[in-house]
Chain A
Amino acid sequence: MTGKRLWSWLAVVLGGLYFLLPLAGMVDFSLRMQRDGYSFGAYRIVLTDAQFQQTFGYSVGLALLTIVLGILIVVPTAYFVRLRFPGLRPIVEFITLLPLVIPPIVIVFGYIRIYNTSSVLPLTGSWWGTNILVLFGYAVLSLPYMYRSVDTGLRTIDIASLTEAAQSLGAGWARILAVVILPNVFVSVLSGAFLTFAIVIGEYVFAALLNVNSFGPYMVWMGGNRAYEPSALAVVAFAITWACMGLIQLFTRFSKFSTVRR
């Protein structure tokens, strides 16, 4: 027994070293801008950089819009599939898993070929079109996570009874979805949303290939041109990922106490 525990501690300590050293290195490097000791110089430069503010703000906006779009597409679909078309379920699930199978770089390659300036729908030709394309692209990337979390949320509530009750009170479909179903799966939607946020905020491939000035390409540009600032950016990005995952945990734990056990 003690031997087993010893080995377990060894595995955890070695794993801990591998996972914590890069974080330590990242923090250490981000503070070394001045020769004579630690300083927040790199952070000051990054956070006051107009390019940073602009690209970061843009990516945050894009992430929030992606979440809204994802909810609008996924919640009605998951709801109607559960309620009316159980037969469609395998097809819908298959489609929502495709973004994990097809590499993102291939999807964006397809966009460039289909929606280029000489096509029927020249989305890449205009500022609005490009943004729409990136937005829908990110919605595709978030599809597996969004659909799974919403579908798991729907499983825990009795949507048939809820729908009938709402209908008998005279509610239409839009109202049922917005006022009855969405609040009931809100926690699941939120966990999908935070995951989406974490994925979209630093995304590089879509943004770079569609020539969008978002946070991902900005980070790569910094990486190629500066020494200490990239580490500061990495610390910021890591903090965002932590915040998103932490909030997911917080909300799911919170929901365990608030939902009625059946």
Chain B
Amino acid sequence: MTTSAASLPSALRPRQVLSWFGVAPFFLFALLFLILPTLNIVVGAFRNAAGEATLENLGKLLSPSIRSAFWISIELSLLTAVLGCLFGFLIAAAITLGGLPRPLRNAILTFSGVASNFAGVPLAFAFIATLGRLGFVTMLLRHWFGINLYGSGFNIVSFLGLALTYLYFQIPLMVLIITPALEGLRREWREAAESLGASGFQYWRLVALPVLWPSLLGTLALLFANAFGAVATAIALTGSSLSIAPIVLFAQIRGDVLNDPHLGYAIAFAMIVLTAIANGIYILLRMRAERWVK
């Protein structure tokens, strides 16, 4: 099959046909294991058990328990996205513009690469070992500073605990994405602004932030989607005691706890819609950002 095509005298057609065989496995693979399964869920969200078209499933999303699960999820994702952006930006600004030694910058970027991938079950264990009832920091605070963390109402198995844990992969992701953007800020812009008499604050407000804001907002959207889809960390940390949307869906798939498979479709569909919107914003703003930062 392969040698015959090469020996054909530059005939375009058989060559082109053969090239199609090169990309066909990819499309078949994407269709079978990515697109069809997702479409199945989307279509299922608009069908009832008898296979008729309906909006009933989506309506059930508004029931108090599901609605509150989504609401907690959105709050958690938004909070960790905003804080992740803020702290990530501060660290990225410190290592790019803060005049710190160069090796430190490289070390932080490498560590960010590791930490942004250190999500899931092990991350949850690390936080339980640190801020759990007998955790490292909990004990440290009690023995050295006399602070009783759990006495003050803190619990790692809570919204706050989950948010603290999520930040461990959110902040590094922000550092990784925003550092190149900050390095793209040209020195001439700052010099030009200063020669026109701008203060540091004015430079940031009128020059740097307008250039950076598509990157900032775009990354915010990306971090939102990143937190929203995270399931393993939440399950390993809280079991199923904190009812967030992905955990509700996980329980539904595992044991049909809602007694209604089509409600599962609707939850999954709503999750796709939310992450798709967030990612759409990211891609759109990223394209705008690339106009300035080269």
Q: A-side interface residues toward B, CB under 8 Å?
A: 1, 4-5, 7-9, 11-12, 15, 18-19, 21-26, 28-30, 72-74, 76-77, 79-81, 83-85, 88, 92, 95, 97-114, 136-137, 139-140, 143, 167, 170-175, 195, 198-199, 202-205, 208-209, 216, 219-220, 223-224, 230-231, 233-234, 237-238, 241-242, 244-246, 248-249
Contact = CB atoms under 8 A, between A and B. Distances in A.
B194 to A, nearest CB: 13
B41 A21 contact: no
A4 B35 CA distance: 50
- Which of A100, A209, A249 neighbours the largest number of chain B CB atoms within 10 Å of its CB? A100
Contacts of B7: 170
Given A12-B100, A100-B279, A113-B44, A231 B37 contact: no
B117 A199 contact: yes
Contacts of A97: 279, 283
A21 B136 contact: yes
Contact of A12 (B26, B38, B95, B120): B95
B90 interface: yes
A23 B44 contact: no
Given A21-B130, A110-B40, A219-B121, 12 more contacts: A11-B94, A76-B23, A95-B34, A102-B276, A103-B275, A105-B246, A109-B253, A140-B34, A170-B3, A173-B18, A204-B231, A219-B122
B22 A76 contact: yes
Given A101-B276, A173-B2, A234 B229 contact: no
30 contacts: A5-B98, A5-B99, A8-B100, A11-B93, A18-B168, A22-B126, A25-B137, A29-B134, A29-B136, A72-B25, A80-B23, A84-B22, A92-B23, A92-B26, A95-B34, A97-B279, A101-B276, A105-B253, A111-B33, A172-B3, A174-B2, A202-B122, A205-B231, A209-B253, A220-B121, A223-B124, A231-B126, A234-B121, A237-B122, A249-B113
Contacts of B168: 18-19, 22
A80 B22 contact: yes
A36 B6 CA distance: 73
B120 A88 contact: no
Contacts of B130: 21-22, 24-26, 29
A100 B280 CA distance: 11
Nearest to A69: B29
Interface of B: 1-7, 16, 18-19, 22-23, 25-26, 29-30, 32-41, 44, 87, 90-91, 93-95, 97-100, 104, 108, 110-111, 113-115, 117-118, 120-131, 134-137, 167-168, 171-172, 225, 228-229, 231-232, 235-236, 239, 246, 249-250, 253-254, 264, 268, 271-272, 275-276, 279, 283
Contacts of B123: 22, 234
Contacts of A5: 98-100
Given A85-B19, A203-B120, A245 B125 contact: no
A167 B114 CA distance: 42
A87 to B, nearest CB: 12
Contact of B126 (A15, A85, A140, A238): A238
B117 A106 contact: no
A77 B229 contact: no
A4 B98 contact: yes
Contacts of A4: 97-99
- Which of A28, A108, A136, A244 neighbours the largest number of chain B CB atoms within 10 Å of its CB? A28
Nearest to A9: B100
A240 to B, nearest CB: 9
Contacts of B87: 15
B263 to A, nearest CB: 12
B26 A73 contact: yes
Given A12-B91, A140-B33, A101 B275 contact: yes
A11 B90 contact: yes
Nearest to B269: A106
A216 B125 CA distance: 12
- Which of B6, B124, B229 neighbours the largest number of chain A CB atoms within 10 Å of its CB? B6
Given A25-B130, A98-B34, A245 B246 contact: no
A19 to B, nearest CB: 6
B287 to A, nearest CB: 12
A172 B232 contact: no
A105 B247 CA distance: 10
B227 to A, nearest CB: 11
Nearest to B229: A103
B19 A95 contact: no
Given A26-B130, A73-B26, A112 B118 contact: no
A209 to B, nearest CB: 6
Contact of B249 (A74, A105, A174, A204): A105
Given A170-B3, A216-B232, A234-B126, A113 B272 contact: no
